[in-house]
Chains A and B, each alone.
Chain A
Amino acid sequence: MAIAAFTSRHRYALIEIGTTVLILLAVWAVMDNVDSYVTRPVGDILARFQEAWLFANVMSDVVPSLIRLATGYGAAVVVGVAGGVLLGLSPALRMMAQPTVSFLRSMPAVALIPPTIVLFGIDTTQKAFVIAFMCCWPILLNTADGVAELDGTVRSTARAYGIRGLDRLRFVVLPAAAPRIFAGMRMSLSWALLLLVVSEMIGSTNGVGHFIIQAQFSFALDNMWAGILLLGMMGYVLNASLVMIERRVLRWHVSTRTARG
């Protein structure tokens, strides 16, 4: 029994690794052999990748991008959680915000890039604003929902023990809403990366998005692919880090898997 389980686990691991390697080889073969004006030999791309990202362009492009992302996403988390708690605690406020929030949350925020360039210029503020504008809504909605559905027993217990004010927020409300907050944050993260890339493509003097669109304009295809590869890796690493943080923070929670009860 144990042996059977052991071998089947290994068989699946073998399938996983084998197929992935095959897919990579297929991509490699296509890039190397298909004669087209977008494909480039993988060796050349990797060489450029090493030149650019280890570490010549790190300070000039990667760091500015990460600062923009962190500022915008961080602002979205703060605004989303604060607004969500307010709305979650007050039914009247929730009804008041409902139509406006519905509109803002479904607006494709890339449309705001041209006017925000006029309003804020093309520096970090503008990119952070666009990112925060779109990313705060999923967090706000999930937080509000988590707070509003605070378990009746928890509510009564907190009241009976006279826990109120900031203590109530810190020890009762926020922990109860935490799984929802993270669900919203996970959703927002992919929007944040998208908006970062687009806002850097449209108006910027540096950043990874700027790097790849510039590479395309000047037909430096190795650069372009190296940039795309880096963005893919950034997306993957950021997602994985958020999932790790979520697991750590929510270790106490009964079901860290389902955000909705």
Chain B
Amino acid sequence: MARSAQLEPDAGTVDELAAPVAYVPPDGDAALRRRSLTDQPWAPVVLGAIGILLSLAAWDMLSRSGFVSPQDLPPSREVVVSFFEQLRTSEFWGHVGNTLRSWSIGLALSASIAIPVGLALGSSWAFWRALRPTVEFLRAVPGVALVPVAILLWGQGIQGSVALIVFGSVWVLMINAMYGARQLDEVARDTARVFGLNRVERIRWLVVPGALPYVATGLRIASAAALITAVTAELVIGSPGMGSAIAKAQTAGATVKMYGLILGTGMLGLVTHLFFQRLEGHFLRWHLSQQKAG
């Protein structure tokens, strides 16, 4: 029976631009290989900086073009200045702290549910088949559809945000953990059987290490989902954090400040993304080196 392709983990997707690989002719004729700009060690930094400056310039041109009102889209310089000014205020860090608090509680809860359940689902075909339709359906439901339920149950309390974050991030993580547990190395499994490892030992030494890279990928995606759900809850429900600060700044007509806050929200996304990406790379490298050693 064909397994549903819908439940592929998102591990196959990349999310960083690949480092340029110079074209090497198959016959290895070194003379044909051009030394180009991108081979220079300074190229990523310099070209990247040029890219950022060009994007900011494009933003400014749009702001000045008359296509939109400069009041609605202030020039990038003003926004960047406002962002750095806000970095020095405790108000800004208060918003960041509130958002990060519900994000981290939600993500931690989500991980403590999804990882064990996912590993169990991956280890037992019967268990997996039992819960498959439910998990498949719930995974496709946009968690933010439950915002009204959260409002009714918890008002503006942090529980509402946390519950929405858990629902929004638990399924993708569960499915990645499930997939990880299923990708068991056959030699390792047979070896474990020969040495007579019991169930607990098998999980400790076989299932968990094999699934770690998948879990790490799941965590990266779950973290992004958790952050966007946290900001959504703040925007729609009005619980304190970056989202409600953006909404408040807009209502107050403080457009520059609002864009500064949006820039800050983007930075929050970038920092959390880079953190989980490093974690993922770490586990992946560790995983590969283990396999080579084995």
Contact = CB atoms under 8 A, between A and B. Distances in A.
Nearest to B126: A15
B44, B52, B142 — most chain A CB neighbours (10 Å): B142
Contact of B134 (A13, A23, A118, A257): A23
B21 A148 contact: yes
A194 B233 CA distance: 12
Nearest to A18: B130
A87, A145, A196, A258 — most chain B CB neighbours (10 Å): A145
B144 interface: yes
A243 B26 contact: no
A184 interface: yes
A54 B98 CA distance: 42
B245 to A, nearest CB: 10
B31 interface: no
B17 A100 contact: no
Contact of A190 (B129, B142, B231, B265): B142
A198 B152 contact: no
B20 A95 contact: yes
A19 B121 CA distance: 14
Interface in B213-263: 221, 224, 227-228, 231-232, 235-236, 242-243, 246-247, 250, 255, 258-259, 261-262
A246 B13 CA distance: 15
B131 A19 contact: yes
A240 B137 CA distance: 10
A15 B272 contact: no
A95 B43 contact: yes
A106 B266 contact: yes
A169 to B, nearest CB: 17
Contacts of A193: 142
A156 B231 contact: no
B14 A145 contact: yes
A115 B21 contact: no
Contacts of B130: 15-16, 18-20
Interface in B1-33: 1, 4-6, 8, 10-18, 20-26
A231 B145 contact: yes
Contact of A145 (B18, B51, B125, B138): B18
Interface in B31-79: 36-38, 43-44, 47-52, 54-55, 68, 72-73
B140 A197 contact: no
A183 B137 contact: no
Contacts of A213: 147-148, 236
Contact of B68 (A13, A113, A119, A191): A119
B48 A95 contact: yes
Q: How large is the interface on A (under 10, 10 to 19, 20 to 34, 35 or more residues)?
A: 35 or more
A95 B133 CA distance: 43
A187 B13 contact: yes
A224 B228 CA distance: 22
A179 B46 CA distance: 32
B133 A20 contact: yes
Given A15-B130, A95-B20, A201-B236, A115 B259 contact: yes
A102 B17 CA distance: 8
Contacts, number: 249
B14 A111 contact: no
A102 B267 CA distance: 10
A106 B265 CA distance: 10
A111 B38 contact: no
A138 B133 CA distance: 27
A252 to B, nearest CB: 16
B101 interface: no
Contacts of B268: 108
Contacts of B132: 16
A96 to B, nearest CB: 4
A259 B12 contact: yes
A12 interface: yes
Contacts of A191: 228
In the complex, the 9 A-B pairs of residues with the closest C-beta atoms, listed nearest first: A91-B20, A216-B148, A259-B12, A107-B266, A96-B51, A235-B140, A106-B269, A106-B273, A19-B130
Interface of A: 9, 12-13, 15-16, 18-20, 23, 37-38, 87, 91-92, 94-115, 118-119, 137-138, 141-142, 144-145, 148-149, 152-153, 155-156, 180, 183-184, 186-187, 190-191, 193-194, 196-198, 201-202, 209, 212-213, 215-216, 224, 227-228, 231-232, 235-236, 238-240, 243, 246-247, 256-260
25 contacts: A19-B134, A95-B20, A95-B44, A98-B44, A100-B52, A107-B265, A109-B228, A110-B231, A112-B262, A114-B250, A115-B250, A115-B258, A148-B18, A148-B21, A180-B14, A190-B140, A190-B142, A201-B144, A216-B148, A216-B151, A231-B142, A232-B145, A235-B142, A239-B6, A240-B140
